[in-house]
Amino acid sequence: MQSMELPLVVFTVFSQAAIGVTVMRAVRTTADGAGAEDHGARREWGLIAGLMVFGMLGSLFHLGHPLSAPTALNHLGTAWLSREVLFAGMFTGVTVLAVLVAGITGKPALAWLGTLLGLGVIVSAGMTYAPPALPALDNGLPFAFFLTSAVILGAGFGSWFAGGGRAPLMARIFTTALVVGLVLNLAAPWIWLSGGTVMRMTGQAWLGSAFYWAHVLVLLGCLGVVWKTRTIPAWLPVLALMGELAGRAGFFADTIHTAANMGGLY
């Protein structure tokens, strides 16, 4: 097992939750005409900004020299991490602005701008965590994992703000994202078992990891609850958040680096 990277777990999961809620807000408030069912905008933006700021602060603990964090913007030319920092900074700015200017109804334009920047964060994070040294993740999987987390948490927490008319839409999106998350998580480690040595080691590490199974069980549990109640109970998004945190800890801790097998067959 490698490092759990707690600050990165906090940053990626909380920022994805914030982005997801923004996307759902954009979808919900424009589902049948701008401004439909748009109330409590400030509270919702408050949650989004809170999640994002908490995630950004958490990420600083990952740096050996947090005060130099702004220099992380220096290498936009090739470093996806620089691009991730740029998008995350701009997204945070939009969320804070939205809290300040949101009245009771909010501004759909800000939700769409946030959605765009948020997708920028997810794409660049997907590229950052797909390096050649992690063969199991050197592909589209990190992006797919991150996007699924964003939609699960977005629809989950978004349901807190959806009026009765939009609640079934949130439940449908939540359910679909849970199924996609389950399929991805169940398929990936088994597929890795048929790959090269380091990929196989990663598959075995994931399948033997408490983080992995906790995540899978939470996804299954959430699915069971929605299926039974046909709604998203207010406490369910919090459980989903715990599941995503566990899954992300496993993502960092249990993925094997090529250097772990130096001198062995690849």
Contacts to other proteins by CB under 8 A: 62-66, 68-69, 71-75, 78-82, 85, 128-129, 131-134, 257-260, 262-266
State which residue, 113 or 198, has the beta carbon closest to other proteins.
198
Q: Which amino acid is at 90?
A: M
State which residue, 1 or 238, has the beta carbon closest to other proteins.
1
Q: How many CA atoms lie within 13 A of 148 on its CB side?
A: 24
Report how far residue 41's alpha carbon sits from residue 72's, in angstroms, rounded to the nearest whole number.
33
CA dihedral over 167, 173, 177, 178, signed as positive or negative: positive
State which residue, 75 or 230, has the beta carbon closest to other proteins.
75
CB of 264 to other proteins, least distance (A): 4
β-strand partners of 47: none
CB of 86 to other proteins, least distance (A): 10
State which residue, 43 or 62, has the beta carbon closest to other proteins.
62
CB of 44 to other proteins, least distance (A): 31
State which residue, 227 or 266, has the beta carbon closest to other proteins.
266
CB atoms within 10 A of CB 251: 30
In terms of Cα–Cα distance, which of 168, 143, 146 is closest to 158? 168
CB of 80 to other proteins, least distance (A): 7
Report how far residue 244's alpha carbon sits from residue 75's, in angstroms, rounded to the nearest whole number.
30
